[in-house]
A and B are shown apart, each in its own frame.
Chain A
């Protein structure tokens, strides 16, 4: 049997047994449902434009009233809203409707129009109503001054100004970076605990002795790493599938999310290899599974620190440094891609440093595992292993 066949069998067992655990299905379901909700919810919430209910107590000037309605509707349309008018007979009824929240605003038309609105509410609509009333008054005065209707319309036509938005999608990008960092952090944390625990259990109950008699230590080690890593990729896929489906269906993704998932994939793999290899090797140093938490503490702190820094500094200059450092780049680089802050040079440098580190960590992890997995008695210290490896 070749090394690859042995590694494949070990990885396949890890994968199969993981998928037999209910806890994994629960995690996958949470990721899938959470992602689906995040993709569907904005569509549901944005399914219709905003509707304003406006009560109007008509005045004597029917034409002016019609002009007001038309002008208000046009103004609302520019804000992706529409207005539903309700004609009421008198001011007191209009006031009651506003007070009861049955309409958003009420306009008592006449020579001196009155606008009724609940204090502090519907500011945007109030501004639109005021503008429409002012326009109608201006039109009336222009007509009184002898201008014909065509001239008045031309004078009152608002120039079609071009709107230039700055950082319009920044909040979307920040949200994408934050969510991606959180998912990567959680997946890496859970999987590295699984990898260390798995190795520790095999060592503690001597399954490793049976297996090492049949397969090479590195096949046993990397089979475990690959198996747990594939479980991690399944978790990431569960979170990514709704995003991909929405993208394929032509839906609007939050800015930066698609790019971060696609562009950040190499760093996700990098993170899985680095953290799982290190965690698995550390798991081989201990004698009992209960010690796994203690031996993983430095790695857990590094991961937690990375997550916190990714949330606070991914978009800053310091984030560029973190995106190149190999143990922080798996979380920070996808976040920077989501933010749109990752430069090409930075991406290339991060990949090169990451690949070099993977090669080093794989060699070092193998050496630590080979030495640790056959050691019995007290817990081995890392420096002891490094001295003798």
Chain B
């Protein structure tokens, strides 16, 4: 039986406002699944429902093809968007206590906590209070709290928010390692460009509805849109508007959206007649572009 988390038809309103409308979500084992979308799309609400913090108005949750139970949830790990830690507690005490809430005995909890603190480069700080740690360290403790019991399913709500590039890299490695062990992982983010390289499967939410979901590589391949990237600033007058349109110009160069049957080589030749091009490429749509395609003018 595959350890897969499935959500079907999850619906939730806050007052008159629909926060989630018949949302489906699949989190298969061994895949990095991104629950993506802009702020207010309903990602956190869906995660709170997965963990039973909120009861959905409609919809079903299954784990290993049967309805999710409290015991199942106790075997999962959750890192909320706002960092939930007791600031007055000592690092090791907090982790052991959470491990015990998950059902581990004290000795096993200590062993797991120390092992994780070692992996997260926090072994020297186990006796420190959380309040004495830097923001980045506290973030790692929060991650350790979600993983201390060795969860089958790890759910991280906006884990990259506010992190520096080193921490982003570190967290990405942790996420990848977790899925490489054949376990399940779901994380949410509104920073689509930041997590594009990490996601293998995505569910894109917009205004509480799923606007796109599936294997990211396949979604990109299936998109009819292509972009030409060149490392020079392109004057829109250089190219035939029937073949390409300038999408963006920045310090790295220009990105042109190619029309359906346009020949990228011909567009490149048009540009080279006006400027020297060292670096170029034909690209599938980025995650942001996929989102804009899927969400339509409403999201633009």
B83 interface residue per 8 A CB criterion: yes
Within 8 A of A (CB), among B26-83: 48, 51-54, 70, 73-74, 76, 78-83
| Segment with Cβ contacts to A, from B96-104, B258-266, B287-295 | B96-104
Given contacts A17-B88, A206-B83, A207-B86, contact A212 B97 (CB under 8 A): no
Inter-chain contact B78/A210, CB cutoff 8 Å? yes
**Residues of B contacting A206 in the complex (Cβ-Cβ under 8 angstroms):** 80-84
A249 interface residue per 8 A CB criterion: no
A20 to B90, CA, bound (A): 11
B85 interface residue per 8 A CB criterion: yes
**Residues of B contacting A142 in the complex (Cβ-Cβ under 8 angstroms):** none
Inter-chain contact A205/B83, CB cutoff 8 Å? yes
The A interface, classified by DSSP as helix, strand, loop or mixed, is helix
Chain A nearest CB from B49 CB (Å) reads: 10
Inter-chain contact B82/A215, CB cutoff 8 Å? no
Residue among A10, A214, A215, A216 with max Cβ neighbours from chain B (10 Å): A214
Chain B: residues with Cβ within 8 Å of the partner, total of: 31
The B interface, classified by DSSP as helix, strand, loop or mixed, is loop
B89 interface residue per 8 A CB criterion: yes
Given contacts A17-B88, A208-B84, A374-B48, contact A1 B97 (CB under 8 A): no
B113 interface residue per 8 A CB criterion: no
A377 to B45, CA, bound (A): 13
Given contacts A205-B82, A206-B80, A207-B84, contact A9 B73 (CB under 8 A): no
Given contacts A17-B89, A205-B82, A374-B54, contact A210 B98 (CB under 8 A): yes
Identify the closest chain B residue to A1 (Cβ).
B103
B145 interface residue per 8 A CB criterion: yes
Chain B nearest CB from A131 CB (Å) reads: 70
Chain B nearest CB from A207 CB (Å) reads: 4
A13 to B98, CA, bound (A): 10
Inter-chain contact B80/A209, CB cutoff 8 Å? yes
Identify the closest chain A residue to B94 (Cβ).
A13
Given contacts A206-B80, A206-B82, contact A212 B100 (CB under 8 A): no
**Residues of A contacting B87 in the complex (Cβ-Cβ under 8 angstroms):** 205
Chain A nearest CB from B19 CB (Å) reads: 11
**Residues of B contacting A13 in the complex (Cβ-Cβ under 8 angstroms):** 89, 97
Please pick, from A1, A16, A214, A374, the residue contacting B98 in the complex, using a CB distance under 8 A: A214
Chain B nearest CB from A239 CB (Å) reads: 26
Inter-chain contact B86/A213, CB cutoff 8 Å? no
Inter-chain contact B101/A205, CB cutoff 8 Å? no
Identify the closest chain A residue to B81 (Cβ).
A206
Chain A nearest CB from B84 CB (Å) reads: 4
Given contacts A374-B48, A374-B54, contact A1 B101 (CB under 8 A): yes
**Residues of B contacting A1 in the complex (Cβ-Cβ under 8 angstroms):** 74, 101-103
**Residues of B contacting A377 in the complex (Cβ-Cβ under 8 angstroms):** 14
Residue among A206, A210, A374 with max Cβ neighbours from chain B (10 Å): A210
**Residues of B contacting A126 in the complex (Cβ-Cβ under 8 angstroms):** none
A6 interface residue per 8 A CB criterion: yes
Inter-chain contact B101/A212, CB cutoff 8 Å? no
A21 to B100, CA, bound (A): 23
Inter-chain contact B85/A207, CB cutoff 8 Å? yes
A202 to B93, CA, bound (A): 17
B 172-205 to A, binary, CB cutoff 8 A, 1 in contact else 0: 0000000000000000000000000000000000
A20 to B88, CA, bound (A): 9
A213 to B146, CA, bound (A): 10
Inter-chain contact A9/B83, CB cutoff 8 Å? no
A211 interface residue per 8 A CB criterion: yes
A 12-47 to B, binary, CB cutoff 8 A, 1 in contact else 0: 010011001100000000000000000000000000
A253 to B146, CA, bound (A): 55
A20 to B87, CA, bound (A): 13
Identify the closest chain A residue to B157 (Cβ).
A209
Inter-chain contact A215/B101, CB cutoff 8 Å? yes
Report 26 cross-chain contacts, Cβ distance below 8 Å, ordered by A residue. Answer: A1-B101, A1-B102, A1-B103, A9-B101, A10-B101, A16-B93, A17-B86, A202-B84, A205-B83, A205-B84, A205-B85, A205-B87, A206-B81, A208-B84, A209-B51, A209-B78, A209-B80, A210-B79, A210-B84, A210-B146, A212-B53, A213-B52, A213-B73, A213-B76, A213-B78, A214-B98
Given A9-B97, A16-B93, A205-B82, list of 17 further CB < 8 A pairs? A1-B101, A1-B102, A9-B100, A21-B88, A205-B83, A206-B83, A206-B84, A207-B84, A207-B85, A209-B48, A210-B98, A213-B52, A213-B76, A213-B78, A214-B73, A216-B70, A374-B48
Q: Which 6 A-B pairs have the closest CB atoms?
A: A213-B51, A206-B84, A207-B84, A206-B82, A209-B80, A210-B84
Chain B residues within CB distance 8 Å of chain A: 14, 48, 51-54, 70, 73-74, 76, 78-89, 93, 97-98, 100-103, 145-146
